[in-house]
């Protein structure tokens, strides 16, 4: 058998499969590093076990010696085929100065469980599980699924013991992970089995924290820190990678957007954020950005809300100077507030279907006009500006019709806004129906809740309005001056 494997390694390219059984597959990449990484692949990725392995892009980019162990089904790597896989791994890894074993979640369990058998010098276990025995620790759905597929004796022997563990262990985890993810219980048990381990907290990264550490360059820096065997360097490198990773920033923004919108606003409009790699993942998340605009307005940060709304529509961050706008952009800079929903949508009017619609990205809805607020003689009205004309909206039988603002037709079926604090509710004249947004669609409620509220946000900040008595608007290549008094 050894001759066959050696022959396969000789004739194929640097990345190859050197073992394929019913339960497991072993990938090998022959690189140029003086260390080798042995990784286990996380669950739910069984269908690509033949074609992919954990850290494949990093391994190929930096030509790292690597052994990737994949599973074909959910057995927690508790299969007799592990004996053969371990034998092959040890045969290859013994020539290297350092052996690093790593894995995430159930793969983190396997990394610890087999660290001694694999002669590990370093174990990098991310959100690891400790057992399949629910008498020891509560089980996740993934673990429960494995229990149903494994023999009872295997399950009872699954718990990691101190005798299974070898090498310097780094436990990487999110201290704020939700209770239902069960990380704290499993980590607490694992710490009792080790005389020494290094805790590396990765705040706001969640159970599947690898998404906050991914990227070939950034993860290679973590590998380099592990190879150095310098505890403080590993901790600081992981912390630095996590802190500046776009996924981590996005999670923090989502967590604090309701309670601390001003802090999120400062973070997303800072110069440092502009330098963050892949920041378009946030800049293209229109619902997140609009929800931030809503919360800023609700909390009374009117100027910041106006600034940020401009930044969304003009695909920029930070303050926006009206004097630097193009004529096309100036057509959006009317003082009439837009209506932004609690869930992060514009209230818009579709002039083809003649219905109200929520719109996160107006560019994706070419027939939709944003609904705005117009104050006429002390009365607030819902309007749209289209082709240089202002139209008031009229609502009847769940269908919106537009008509000229100057019409004297004030029939009872107009929809009306009512201002409560810094937010508005949109209702029929009898106030027996309120318009809201639910799961991306307009819905009608008999009693308004917070999620039916809209924040009126002007594209022109209060400071800018105070500086001038009118705003120039360009419509159909004609300049129109609108009084803001």
Q: Are residues 288 and 437 in the same domain?
A: no
Q: Looking at the structure, do residues 81 and 219 belong to the same domain, yes or no?
A: yes
pLDDT tens, residue by residue, 65-79: 999 999 999 999 999
| Size (the chain), residues | 485
| Model confidence at 99: pLDDT above 80 | yes
Same domain, 306 and 358: no
Q: Name 116's Cβ contacts closer than 8 Å, sequence gap at least 6.
A: 163, 164, 165, 166
Same-domain check for residues 367 and 434:
yes
Please check whether residue 484 lies inside any domain of the structure.
no
Question: Residues 202, 140: one domain?
Answer: yes
Please report which confidence band the pLDDT of residue 431 belongs to, taking 50, 70 and 90 as the band edges: low
By percentage, how much of the chain surpasses pLDDT 70? 83
Tell which wins on pLDDT, 463 or 4: 463
For 170-225, write each residue's pLDDT tens digit.
999 999 888 878 899 999 999 999 988 999 999 888 888 888 888 888 899 999 99
Q: What's the rounded mean pLDDT across residues 244-266?
A: 92
Q: Which residues of 83-116 are buried (b: 16+ CB within 10 A; e: fewer)?
A: eebbebbeebbeeeebbbbbbbbbbbbbbbbbbb
Domain with 205, as residue range(s), is: 2-243
**Residue finishing a domain among 320, 347, 366:** 320
Q: What is the pLDDT of residue 465?
A: 47
Average pLDDT, the chain: 83
Nearest to 68 by CA among 113, 34, 118, 32: 118
Q: Which of 388, 290, 302 is nearest to 339 (CA)?
A: 290
| pLDDT band for position 263 (cuts 50, 70, 90) | very high
Residue 1 has pLDDT above 60, yes or no: no
State the average pLDDT over residues 423-438: 79
Does one domain contain both 258 and 239? no
On whether both 344 and 304 belong to a single domain, the answer is no
Is 468 part of any domain? no
**Stretch 275-281: mean pLDDT:** 87
Q: Could you tell me the CATH number of the domain that includes residue 392?
A: 2.80.10.50
Residue 205 inside a domain? The answer is yes
Residues 121-173 have pLDDT tens digits of 999 999 999 999 999 999 999 899 999 999 999 999 999 999 999 999 999 99
- Confidence band of 264 (pLDDT split at 50, 70, 90): very high
Whether residue 425 has pLDDT greater than 50: yes
Q: Rounded to an integer, what distance in angstroms lies between the CA atom of residue 143 and that of residue 110?
A: 13
Tens digit of each residue's pLDDT (9 = 90 or more) over 284-338 = 999 999 999 999 999 999 999 988 888 777 654 333 444 454 444 444 567 789 9
Residue 413 lies in a domain: yes
Same domain for 144 and 34: yes
Same domain, 276 and 209: no
| pLDDT in the model for residue 173 | 93
Say yes or no: 183 and 312 in one domain.
Answer: no
Whole-angstrom distance, CA of residue 31 vs CA of residue 327: 57
Strands (E), 41-97: 65-71
In a domain, 464, yes or no: no
* Range 251-267 average pLDDT: 94
Pick the more confident residue, 348 or 334. Answer: 348
Percent of the chain with pLDDT over 90: 48
Last residue of a domain, one of 268, 295, 320: 320
How many domains, in total, are found in the chain? Answer: 3
Whether pTM > 0.85 for this model: the answer is: no
pLDDT of 478 strictly over 60: no
Question: Does residue 328 form part of some domain?
Answer: no
Does residue 469 fall inside a structural domain?
A: no
pLDDT at residue 299, rounded to an integer: 95
Q: For the domain that residue 46 is a member of, what is the CATH number?
A: 3.40.50.1820
Has residue 485 got a pLDDT over 70?
A: no
Q: What pLDDT does residue 129 have? A: 96
pLDDT (0 to 100) of residue 415 = 72
Domain co-membership, 238 together with 281: no
Q: Which residue has the higher pLDDT, 385 or 115?
A: 115
Token pair 């990449």 is found at 29
Measure CA of the first residue to CA of the last residue in the chain; give whole Å.
Answer: 88
What's the half-sphere exposure (Cβ side, CA atoms, 13 Å) at 292? 32
Q: Are 107 and 42 in contact (CB under 8 A)?
A: yes
Q: pLDDT (tens digit, 9 = 90+) per residue, 372-418? A: 998 877 778 888 887 777 888 776 555 555 555 544 444 445 677 88
Pick the last residue of a domain from 183, 212, 243. 243
481 part of a folded domain: no
- Could you tell me if 297 and 346 lie in one domain? no
């Amino acid at each position: 058998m050894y001759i066959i494997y050696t022959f396969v390694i000789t004739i194929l390219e640097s990345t190859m499969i050197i073992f394929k059984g019913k339960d497991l597959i072993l990938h090998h990449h022959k690189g140029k590093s003086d260390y080798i990484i042995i990784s286990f692949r996380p669950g739910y990725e069984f269908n690509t076990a033949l074609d992919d392995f954990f850290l494949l892009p990093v391994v190929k980019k930096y030509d790292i010696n690597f052994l990737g162990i994949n599973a074909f089904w959910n057995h927690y790597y508790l299969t007799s085929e592990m004996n053969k896989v371990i034998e092959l791994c040890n045969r290859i890894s013994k020539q290297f100065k350092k052996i690093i074993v790593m894995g995430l979640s159930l793969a983190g369990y396997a990394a610890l469980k087999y660290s001694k058998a694999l002669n590990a010098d370093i174990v990098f276990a991310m959100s690891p599980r400790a057992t399949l025995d629910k008498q020891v620790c509560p089980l996740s759905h993934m673990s429960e699924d494995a229990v149903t597929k494994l023999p009872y004796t295997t399950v009872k022997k699954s718990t990691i013991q101190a005798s299974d563990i070898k090498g310097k262990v780094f436990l990487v985890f999110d201290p704020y992970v939700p209770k239902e993810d069960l990380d704290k219980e499993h980590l607490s048990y694992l710490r009792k089995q080790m005389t020494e381990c290094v805790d590396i907290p990765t705040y706001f990264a969640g159970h599947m924290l690898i998404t906050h550490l991914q990227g070939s360059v950034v993860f290679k820096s973590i590998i380099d820190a592990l190879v150095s065997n310098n505890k403080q360097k590993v901790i600081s490198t992981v912390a630095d990678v996590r802190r500046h990773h776009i996924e981590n920033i996005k999670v923090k923004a989502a967590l604090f957007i309701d309670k601390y919108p001003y802090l999120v606003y400062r973070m997303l409009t800072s110069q440092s954020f502009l330098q963050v790699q892949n920041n378009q993942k946030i800049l293209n998340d229109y619902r997140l950005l609009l929800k931030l605009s809503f919360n800023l307005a609700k909390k009374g940060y009117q100027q910041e809300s106006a600034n940020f709304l401009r930044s969304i529509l003009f695909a920029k961050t930070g303050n926006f100077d009206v004097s630097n706008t193009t004529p096309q952009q100036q057509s959006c800079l009317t003082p009439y507030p837009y209506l932004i929903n609690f869930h992060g949508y514009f209230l818009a009017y579709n002039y083809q279907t003649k219905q109200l619609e929520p719109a996160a990205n107006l560019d994706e809805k070419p027939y939709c006009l944003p609904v705005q607020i117009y104050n006429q003689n002390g009365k607030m009205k819902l309007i749209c500006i289209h082709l240089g004309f202002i139209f008031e909206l009229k609502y009847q039988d769940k269908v919106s019709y537009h008509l000229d603002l100057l019409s004297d037709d004030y029939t009872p079926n107009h929809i009306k806004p009512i201002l409560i604090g810094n937010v508005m509710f949109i209702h029929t004249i009898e106030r027996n129906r309120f318009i809201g947004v639910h799961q991306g669609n307009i819905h009608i409620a008999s009693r308004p809740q917070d999620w039916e509220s809209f924040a009126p946000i002007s594209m022109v900040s209060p400071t800018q309005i105070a500086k001038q008595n009118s705003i120039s608007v360009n419509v159909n290549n004609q300049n129109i001056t609108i009084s803001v008094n």
